[in-house]
Structure 1
């Protein structure tokens, strides 16, 4: 079974927004990962290093709200329409490959499926209808 979660983008306000969402929904953050924690970010400003690379808030047993901040110096620009992604979490690489190939057909691949430094098989794309998607398989589970 593939899980599906809303994934939001912010321009430096992800942590603030999630503190607010936590005040409404309750719960705890499994972790708050900053952009400066990732390899290859040494050239970023202190402000960008302090932005959120990933934050999540479990809402219930089926849904987790997730988010990150954009990185302006990398050319990211937050505009209406790119601030929400659908994040799929299939259980296998094979299912990830199938979903990625099917949904990205005729669209634009942002990051091909690949192993990542955070221990996942991950890729992202915009489908032919302009919807943003992320596919993430946790490795080693």
Structure 2
């Protein structure tokens, strides 16, 4: 069964925020902390951005996660109310991911087409016609 989880954007203080959330909700970060210095795009980033958080996830309950990233100014990303959260759907199959993406993209704006991401997921991002931001992913791991 697919799941939907919140994906938060922070302007450089994701690690601080998630240590705060961890102190309240408990648990351990799923898969550790991924930093921008460990991505294929690292050479394009400024020195102060390399240690920023590319991805972090904290379990919440049995099947949910609170996830986040740092928005990078070098990528022209500015956090403001309305772009600080995505709903992230984890699909059960690649076909289901494509179907969800195509449906939600109807009348909306595609930010990143579905593709095989460097971390191994099949992944895409969009804003639907109502202004809601979505991440769609599928992993066969």
Q: TM-score, normalised by structure 1?
A: 0.96
Matching of residues 83-98 of structure 1 within 5 Å? 83-98=84-99
Note if 1:32 corresponds to 2:33: yes
> What's the CA shift for 1:40?
2.2
Task: Count residues with an aligned counterpart.
Answer: 140
**Map of 1:134 onto structure 2:** 135
CA distance in 2 between counterparts of 1:27 and 1:36 reads 25
**Map of 2:22 onto structure 1:** 22
> What's the CA shift for 1:43?
2.7
> What's the CA shift for 1:62?
2.1
**Map of 1:99 onto structure 2:** 100
SS in 2 for 1:9: strand
CA distance in 2 between counterparts of 1:42 and 1:12 reads 19
**Runs (5+) with no aligned partner, structure 2:** none
> What's the CA shift for 1:36?
1.2
CA distance in 1 between counterparts of 2:13 and 2:93 reads 33
SS in 2 for 1:119: coil
Matching of residues 49-128 of structure 1 within 5 Å? 49-128=50-129
- Taking only aligned residues, the RMSD between alpha carbons, in angstroms, comes to 0.8
Q: TM-score, normalised by structure 2?
A: 0.96
CA distance in 1 between counterparts of 2:73 and 2:125 reads 19
**Map of 2:7 onto structure 1:** 7
CA distance in 2 between counterparts of 1:16 and 1:138 reads 28
Q: Runs ≥4 in structure 1, deviation > 3 angstroms? A: none
CA distance in 1 between counterparts of 2:94 and 2:67 reads 21
